[in-house]
């Protein structure tokens, strides 16, 4: 008995199974009407039409290829019969802080702010000083002995705005000159391409006071001796210009700049903004403190104008006990562009500010890996105030993203005040600026006889 094989080896094919009987049209159409018949009694015409369409679709399955076209056609017909006024619109969320520019929102806030004045936890308590660890005071000592013979003259050119010229040019120049035992020539201010301000050092600061305040610390003069200028045809642009990288250490000046100074007896450093690292020994930090907090005093013209403004503000604020707010608005194109903040100008504003940054600081903000986060910049308080925010600052002391309810908004402001107080006690780290964190390099505690950080300021 042989085993059966489904594939014949003799070349003869196995018989095929009998074919299925053909479906009889008579049998198909002659079925008794039942459950799936479209012509059941009691059905309406709509039901009959629906069943008829369903039976056609089931018999001709290829029609499902046209289902998407049928769906789209139906949606277009439906949307044409419905008004777009009832369709919800998706609105873009305004940029953080930009809602303060709306006078309508201020009017809504004003009612609750006025009601809050009489409460015990009013927002006006942000003006109270809650320092509990004692206040800080300047403690920069001044040596009484004279200076040794100078190693030469240093001439720097101040670029940037007024604040940058003050801290990163003048104060750093005083520190470098003192460290190298050099004589500092009164810095020259660049004719700014935007401001086009021809002001000189003496137009902004009291030059005589600056020189006398630094006596016995750094020798400062307003002109170079004649015998030296003759070597350069009485033109300071002919003096050797020492190109220094930004944030160079004070050791670099000792190792690289000092030998050239001893050789030439005069050197020029241009530009000089941000050419000295924040991390410096106590002797250098002391000179920075002395220059910024004591030696630099505004000229008599500016002081007189400032006193007039203060007297006027006190007179006009008699209803608030002489309290007033002084704000430097500075809401101008270059400052807004440099801040990288976003306001409510939309895409056009973003494009304009992007172009302004590229014109003023080519490539600075487009370096690979640099990420700009406008929201984080605003939360940290580094965005210029809009005109309406300046009005609100009298009530709130600081700007913060808008909250619809005043109680929640006030709580956030008080939390910010508490955070600001804690930052006020924060001591300077090595890489921080003494102008942002003057403690302990430039200041000492008033309620302590000794301070661990005061050695750097004495």
Residues 176, 274, single domain; the answer is: yes
Distances (CA, A) of 6 to 10, 11, 16, 19: 12, 12, 12, 19
Does residue 214 or residue 99 have the better pLDDT? 214
Query: Which is higher by pLDDT, 235 or 448?
Result: 235
Considering the domain boundaries, does residue 347 fall inside one?
A: yes
Domain region containing 372: 330-380
State how far the alpha carbon of 105 is from the alpha carbons of 92, 110, 324, 325, in Å: 18, 9, 23, 22
Q: Which residue has the tokens 């196995």?
A: 14
Report the pLDDT averaged over residues 111-118. 61
Say if 129 falls within a structural domain.
no
With cut-offs at 50, 70 and 90, classify the pLDDT of residue 403: very low
Tokens coding 100: 């303060």
Cα gap 351→357, rounded to integer Å: 10
In this structure, the answer to whether residues 175 and 290 fall within a common structural domain is yes
Q: Which positions ≥6 away from 353 have C-beta within 8 Å? A: 336, 337, 340
28-61 pLDDT, tens digit each = 444 444 444 545 555 677 677 777 776 766 666 6
More confident of the two residues 272 and 127: 272
189 and 277: one domain? yes
How is residue 65 annotated by DSSP?
G
* pLDDT for res 451: 43
211 with 284, same domain: the answer is yes
Strands (DSSP E) found in 170-263: 183-185, 188-189, 220-221
pTM: 0.62
* pLDDT at residue 85, rounded to an integer: 46
User: Which of 380, 406, 440 is a domain's end point?
Assistant: 380
Higher pLDDT, 388 or 211: 211
Average pLDDT over the chain, rounded to whole?
Answer: 75
Nearest to 442 by CA among 423, 420, 422, 427: 427
Q: Report pLDDT digits (tens) over 241-296.
A: 999 999 999 999 999 999 999 999 999 999 999 999 999 999 999 999 999 999 99
**Within-domain flag for 94:** no
Strands of 207-364 (E only): list them. Answer: 220-221, 266-269
Judgement on whether residues 181 and 272 belong to the same structural domain of the protein? yes
Instruction: Give the per-residue pLDDT at 58.
Output: 62
Which one of 279, 299, 319 terminates a domain?
A: 299
179 and 283 share one domain:
yes
What residues have CB less than 8 Å from 43, skipping those under 6 apart? Answer: 51
Lowest-pLDDT range of 154-158, 298-302, 411-415: 411-415
Residue 284 sits in the same domain as residue 167 = yes
What does 289-311 look like in DSSP terms, one character per residue? Answer: HHIIIII--B-HHHHHHHHHHHH
Q: Where are the alpha helices (DSSP H) in 223-299?
A: 226-229, 250-252, 258-264, 282-290
Domain membership flag for residue 414: no
How buried is 241 (Cβ within 10 angstroms: 0-12 exposed, 13-18 middle, 19+ buried)? middle
Same-domain check for residues 334 and 294: no
Domain membership of residue 397 (yes or no) is: no
How many structural domains does the chain have?
2
What percent of the chain stands above pLDDT 70?
59
Assess whether 281 and 340 both reside in one domain: no
Instruction: Assess whether 266 and 158 both reside in one domain.
Output: yes
pLDDT value for 86: 46
pLDDT at 389: 66
Are residues 289 and 346 both part of a single domain? Answer: no
Give the separation between CA 72 and CA 74, rounded to whole angstroms: 5
Answer yes or no: is 313 within a domain.
no
Res 109: pLDDT: 63
Packing angle of the helix pair 172-179, 282-290 (nearest 10 deg): 130
CA atoms of 458 and 436, how far apart (whole Å): 19
In the DSSP assignment, the letter for residue 167 is I
Same domain, 287 and 370: no
Q: How far apart are CA 239 and CA 233, in angstroms?
A: 10
Task: Note whether residue 420 is domain-resident.
Answer: no
pLDDT in tens, 73-98: 666 665 554 444 444 444 555 544 44
pLDDT, tens digit, 9 for 90 and up, residues 342-354:
887 888 888 999 9
Six-digit token string for 102: 């709306």
Cα–Cα–Cα angle for 202, 280, 214, rounded to 5 degrees: 30
In a domain, 193, yes or no: yes
Helix or strand holding residue 137 (H, E): strand 136-138
Encode pLDDT of 152-166 as tens digits: 999 999 887 788 899
Domain termination residue (choose one: 322, 348, 380): 380
Given pLDDT bands bounded at 50, 70 and 90, which one contains residue 14?
very low
Cis peptide bond prior to 271, omega within 30° of 0: yes
């Amino acid at each position: 008995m042989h085993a059966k094989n489904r594939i014949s080896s003799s070349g003869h094919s196995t018989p095929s199974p009998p074919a299925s009987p053909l479906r009889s049209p008579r049998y198909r159409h002659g079925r008794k009407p039942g459950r799936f018949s479209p012509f059941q009694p009691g059905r309406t015409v709509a039901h009959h039409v629906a069943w008829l369409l369903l039976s056609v679709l089931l018999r001709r399955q290829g029609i499902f290829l046209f289902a998407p076209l049928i769906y789209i056609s139906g949606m277009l017909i439906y949307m044409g019969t419905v008004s777009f006024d009832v369709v919800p619109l998706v609105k873009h969320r305004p940029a953080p802080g930009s809602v303060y520019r709306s006078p309508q929102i201020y009017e809504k806030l004003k009612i609750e702010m006025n009601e809050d004045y009489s409460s015990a936890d009013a927002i006006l308590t942000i003006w109270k000083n809650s320092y509990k660890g004692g206040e800080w005071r300047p403690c920069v000592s001044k040596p009484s002995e004279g200076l040794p013979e100078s190693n030469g003259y240093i001439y720097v050119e101040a670029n940037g705005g007024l604040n940058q010229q003050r801290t990163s040019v003048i104060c750093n120049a005083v520190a470098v000159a003192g460290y190298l035992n050099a004589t500092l020539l009164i810095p020259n201010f660049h004719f700014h391409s935007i401001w086009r301000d021809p002001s000189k050092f003496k137009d902004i600061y009291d030059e005589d006071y600056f020189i006398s305040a630094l006596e016995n610390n750094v020798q400062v003069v307003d002109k170079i001796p004649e015998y030296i200028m003759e070597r350069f045809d009485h033109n300071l642009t002919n003096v050797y210009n020492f190109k220094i990288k930004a944030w160079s250490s004070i050791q670099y000046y000792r190792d690289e700049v000092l030998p050239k100074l001893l050789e030439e007896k005069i050197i020029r450093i241009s530009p000089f903004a941000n050419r000295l690292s924040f991390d410096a020994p106590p002797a250098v930090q002391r000179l920075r403190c002395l220059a910024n907090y004591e030696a630099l005093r505004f000229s008599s013209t500016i002081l007189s104008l400032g006193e007039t403004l203060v007297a006027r503000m006190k007179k006009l604020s008699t209803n608030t006990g002489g309290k007033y707010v002084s704000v430097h608005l500075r809401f101008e194109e270059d400052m807004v562009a440099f801040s990288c903040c976003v306001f409510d100008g939309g895409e056009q504003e973003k494009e304009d500010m992007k172009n302004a940054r590229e014109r003023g600081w080519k490539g600075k903000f487009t370096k690979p890996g640099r990420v700009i986060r406008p929201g984080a910049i605003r939360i940290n308080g580094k965005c210029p105030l809009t005109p309406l925010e300046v009005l609100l600052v009298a009530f709130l002391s600081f700007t913060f993203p808008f909250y619809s309810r005043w109680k929640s908004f006030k709580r956030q402001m008080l939390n910010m005040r508490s955070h600001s107080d804690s930052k006020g006690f924060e001591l300077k780290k090595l890489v921080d600026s003494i102008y942002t964190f003057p403690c302990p390099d430039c200041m000492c505690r008033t309620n302590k006889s000794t301070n661990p950080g005061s050695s750097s300021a004495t």
